[in-house]
Chain A
Amino acid sequence: MIKLIEKIEGEAKLHFSFKNKKIDFVDIEFLQTRSIEKILEEKNAFDALVINPRVCGICGHAHLIATVEALEDCYEDLEVSNKAKIMRELTLNFELIQNHFKWFYFTVLPLFGYKQAVLKAALPSQIMAKAIAVIGGQYPHNSYAVVGGVVSEITHMDIIKLEQYINETQNFFDENLIHLENEDILKCESIDSLFNKKGDLSQILGDIRKNKWEQLGKSYDRFIAFGENSYFTKGKSLKTRRFTDISIEDVVEFSTQSSYAKNVTFKDKYFEVGPLSRAIINKNGLIKDSHSKFEDSIVSRIVARVLEIPQLLNHTKNLINQINLDEPSYIKPKIDISKITSSGYSAVEAARGTLIHKVNLENGIIKKYDIITPTQWNLSNGTRENQGISQKAMIGLKDEKIAEIVFKSFDVCSVCTTH
């Protein structure tokens, strides 16, 4: 049977095959392509800073940061101030946070039979959008990060504003997602302690337990993250073994016949990306505990994504304190882009996982541009013999409604996938 999955930043078709009343294969089909990589060819390099945020309405800022870092990688000797790097990291964190709230309240709640909480999704994500706008001018779709830094200046007053936004968002989280009396969510290391609390996250976890879905949605238990910054670490994890020595050269993207989306492998194997991968690679205590009990099930995936919110808020607060306002926001590159013939790449951790951009420039003109998005990793459409991450996670389930829960636990982004 075929099921059209809607409201995933577009649509996708899942073609289910059943054997003995259980799903034995799922073919994932994305229905459009927008040819952004082709659109970029023969354009001036800096135009990519304007075009690429338009890959995606919900994580376009990650595409901006990936673009600027890929272009900067084309230079041999380019200086970017620490202040500019922190500003970029702040705005990217704000984007991740707004995404996670939207995913939980728009996507997760209806999967468990509740009405969407539109205003609970909108309120904190609007605050985070404001925080991005204070630095970058607007959200979505700014191009404030440029080769050499950022276009904007930040003041003490801006920082006061940002701190207020962060506190307001933190309060929203504490009041709505999980109520931990006299306990700090960031110090909590036991997944069991989250099940019997009040709050929207605990409610969902309780429903999972009631339905005996704690082990639902397991895949290969293989995780990868290439993005590195002051919070995230590069690495891969197989079961509980972690490795940090990984190279983008081993990442391969290839087309399949049945979908517009391309598959992505690392050393010929499919890997999961996203908050769960980042938390496992970062050795987060609570998520490690969840993983030891429920492995890469929907419990671990949901908790990892939602709890990335307070972790990032806390880290972002500390990061703001590290800004030295005396540093320049922008340092003009010594060489004009029109004299650059080179190639570069970048990897950033976007809301849904590792995002890779690769660019080839000839005298400042884009000759080739490649974008590998997080959803391509998670939703690669493999064969029966070598299934993708989400395909594997849906095998053995009895019906397509439960499969939809598993599918959406990856926080699917159709527009990114069909860039």
Chain B
Amino acid sequence: MQQKVKVLWITGLACNGNTHSFLNYPNLGQFLDNFEFIYHPIIESKYSLEEIVSNTIPCDVLLIEGSISAEIEKADKKLIDIISNYAKVVNKIITVGTCSTFGGIFRDSEYEDITGLHFNETLEVERFRKIKDKTISISGCPIHPELLINTLYSIKNKIELKLDEYLRPKEYFAYTIHNGCTRNEYFEYKVDNHQFGKKEGCMFYDHGCQAPFTHGSCNKILWNEVNSKTRAGQPCMGCTEPDFPKSNLFKTKKNMGIPANLPLGVAKRTYLTLAGVTKAFTINRLEKDIFDD
């Protein structure tokens, strides 16, 4: 029998949302036939946390969930020392979620110098620079389980992934959340009369949807295999990005009536030209409720 890939899952300052999102992976049994956790926050493992932090148990991949600070301890050992120790022995490190990638929501907690492993928002963190070559970032609050698990398989299969500037696999993060949203037609034709509680309308114009400028695959690889936030009617909150969470999240920030954050790579002039053209049309199908005659 082929040897299982040994994985260590260690948690910093976190809500365990990534842990629970991971458990939503549909083919978990098959995954556990191929991977073995030497420690996991929920799944039984061969070693206790105390044994993990006091030794260097051989393993292949280190998964880090949660924000990181020199002040945080796990079983009476400094989290940064545990990371440094295991970073030396593993082949790869994955930052699991936005907190361990960019610092996330708990950047504003009361711990000192709280960051992600390599990034404090967009700024590079010096402390772990030496292990940057080993790291892949799967951002998201929480991570989509398929993104994490397929990345683990790619490590198992020794596939070199193309990564973006924040070490995220391009296969998942070269897209925007906007790709595949069922509200796209309303965006394209600038039908901006969206109301909450409706299947119709685009939330980019008024309700703070960040999907057109947020990297990820939420509308390409659906959540829980059935839906996405924007399809349901919740604006994308940009949870895969370095500056998550921004403020005033349910409102679109505008300058002179123009959204302050434009779709990724679209110049203001291009946007204005397109908006002007599309505004010239009235598309009845998009102006009424979609199920109406």
Instruction: Give the complex CA separation of A161 and B224 in angstroms.
Output: 13
Known: A35-B108, A38-B110, A116-B44. A134 touches B226 (CB 8 A): yes
Contacts of A148 in B (CB 8 A): 196
B179 within 8 A of A: no
A54 within 8 A of B: yes
* Stretch touching chain A among B19-27, B118-126, B151-159: B19-27
Chain A: minimal CB distance from B91 (Å): 25
B193 within 8 A of A: no
From B49, B195, B223, contact of A4 by CB (8 A): B49
Q: Report whether B109 and A34 are in contact in the complex, using a CB–CB cutoff of 8 Å.
A: yes
The proximity string for B residues 174-202 relative to A, scoring 1 for CB distances below 8 Å and 0 otherwise, is 00000000000000000000011111000
B260 within 8 A of A: no
A137 within 8 A of B: yes
The proximity string for A residues 44-58 relative to B, scoring 1 for CB distances below 8 Å and 0 otherwise, is 101101110011111
* Stretch touching chain A among B81-89, B128-136, B232-240, B273-281: B232-240
Chain B positions 224-256 with a Cβ under 8 Å from a chain A Cβ: 224-234, 237, 239, 245, 247-250
Q: Report whether B18 and A50 are in contact in the complex, using a CB–CB cutoff of 8 Å.
A: no
Q: Report whether B15 and A35 are in contact in the complex, using a CB–CB cutoff of 8 Å.
A: no
Q: Report whether A133 and B223 are in contact in the complex, using a CB–CB cutoff of 8 Å.
A: yes
Q: Report whether B196 and A151 are in contact in the complex, using a CB–CB cutoff of 8 Å.
A: yes
Q: Report whether A415 and B16 are in contact in the complex, using a CB–CB cutoff of 8 Å.
A: yes
Contacts of B237 in A (CB 8 A): 50, 143
Instruction: Give the complex CA separation of A130 and B225 in angstroms.
Output: 7
Chain B: minimal CB distance from A50 (Å): 5
A371 within 8 A of B: no
The proximity string for A residues 328-343 relative to B, scoring 1 for CB distances below 8 Å and 0 otherwise, is 1110100000000000
Instruction: Give the complex CA separation of A161 and B43 in angstroms.
Output: 30
Q: Report whether A47 and B224 are in contact in the complex, using a CB–CB cutoff of 8 Å.
A: no
Q: Report whether B16 and A136 are in contact in the complex, using a CB–CB cutoff of 8 Å.
A: no
A33 within 8 A of B: yes
Which of A4, A31, A54 has the most C-beta atoms of chain B within 10 angstroms of its own C-beta?
A54
Q: Report whether A35 and B110 are in contact in the complex, using a CB–CB cutoff of 8 Å.
A: yes
Instruction: Give the complex CA separation of A102 and B43 in angstroms.
Output: 11
Q: Report whether B73 and A51 are in contact in the complex, using a CB–CB cutoff of 8 Å.
A: no
- Chain A residue total in the interface (Cβ 8 A): 66
Contacts of A332 in B (CB 8 A): 195-196
Instruction: Give the complex CA separation of A210 and B156 in angstroms.
Output: 45
A39 within 8 A of B: yes
B263 within 8 A of A: no
Known: A46-B250, A50-B245, A141-B141. A6 touches B48 (CB 8 A): yes
Chain A: minimal CB distance from B278 (Å): 24
Q: Nearest CB to that of B208 among chain A residues?
A: A46
Q: Report whether A415 and B14 are in contact in the complex, using a CB–CB cutoff of 8 Å.
A: yes
The proximity string for A residues 149-170 relative to B, scoring 1 for CB distances below 8 Å and 0 otherwise, is 1111100000001000000000
* Stretch touching chain B among A117-125, A181-189, A232-240, A387-395: A117-125
Contacts of B232 in A (CB 8 A): 133, 135-138, 142, 144, 151-152
Q: Report whether A151 and B23 are in contact in the complex, using a CB–CB cutoff of 8 Å.
A: no
Q: Report whether B233 and A137 are in contact in the complex, using a CB–CB cutoff of 8 Å.
A: yes
Chain B positions 205-235 with a Cβ under 8 Å from a chain A Cβ: 218, 223-234
Known: A38-B110, A57-B19. A51 touches B234 (CB 8 A): no
Known: A133-B226, A140-B17. A330 touches B43 (CB 8 A): no
Known: A44-B248, A47-B248. A32 touches B72 (CB 8 A): yes
Q: Nearest CB to that of B18 among chain A residues?
A: A57
Q: Report whether A137 and B248 are in contact in the complex, using a CB–CB cutoff of 8 Å.
A: no
What range describes how many residues of B lie at the interface? 35 or more
Q: Report whether B16 and A9 are in contact in the complex, using a CB–CB cutoff of 8 Å.
A: yes
Q: Report whether B195 and A330 are in contact in the complex, using a CB–CB cutoff of 8 Å.
A: yes
Contacts of B15 in A (CB 8 A): 34, 54-57, 60, 415
Chain B: minimal CB distance from A277 (Å): 24
Q: Report whether A118 and B43 are in contact in the complex, using a CB–CB cutoff of 8 Å.
A: yes
Instruction: Give the complex CA separation of A23 and B141 in angstroms.
Output: 42
A344 within 8 A of B: no
Instruction: Give the complex CA separation of A321 and B77 in angstroms.
Output: 53
Chain A: minimal CB distance from B112 (Å): 12
Instruction: Give the complex CA separation of A146 and B109 in angstroms.
Output: 25
A196 within 8 A of B: no
Contacts of B234 in A (CB 8 A): 136-137, 142-144, 151-152
Contacts of A197 in B (CB 8 A): none
B272 within 8 A of A: no
A106 within 8 A of B: yes
B29 within 8 A of A: yes
Contacts of A134 in B (CB 8 A): 226-227
Contacts of A9 in B (CB 8 A): 16, 41-42
Instruction: Give the complex CA separation of A46 and B237 in angstroms.
Output: 12
From A44, A51, A125, contact of B23 by CB (8 A): A125
Known: A43-B247, A51-B245, A110-B44. A60 touches B227 (CB 8 A): no
B287 within 8 A of A: no
B32 within 8 A of A: yes
Q: Report whether A330 and B16 are in contact in the complex, using a CB–CB cutoff of 8 Å.
A: no
Instruction: Give the complex CA separation of A140 and B225 in angstroms.
Output: 13
Contacts of B74 in A (CB 8 A): 11
Q: Report whether B108 and A57 are in contact in the complex, using a CB–CB cutoff of 8 Å.
A: no
Chain B: minimal CB distance from A95 (Å): 11
Between-chain CB contacts (< 8 Å), 11 pairs: A4-B48, A4-B49, A46-B250, A84-B197, A115-B44, A118-B43, A126-B224, A136-B234, A137-B229, A137-B233, A141-B17
Known: A118-B28, A122-B23, A126-B23. 12 other contacts (CB 8 A): A7-B44, A34-B109, A125-B24, A130-B225, A133-B223, A137-B230, A138-B227, A142-B229, A142-B234, A151-B196, A151-B234, A153-B199
Q: Which residues of B approach A to under 8 Å, CB–CB?
A: 11, 13-21, 23-24, 26, 28-29, 32, 41-44, 48-50, 72-75, 105-106, 108-110, 141-142, 195-199, 218, 223-234, 237, 239, 245, 247-250
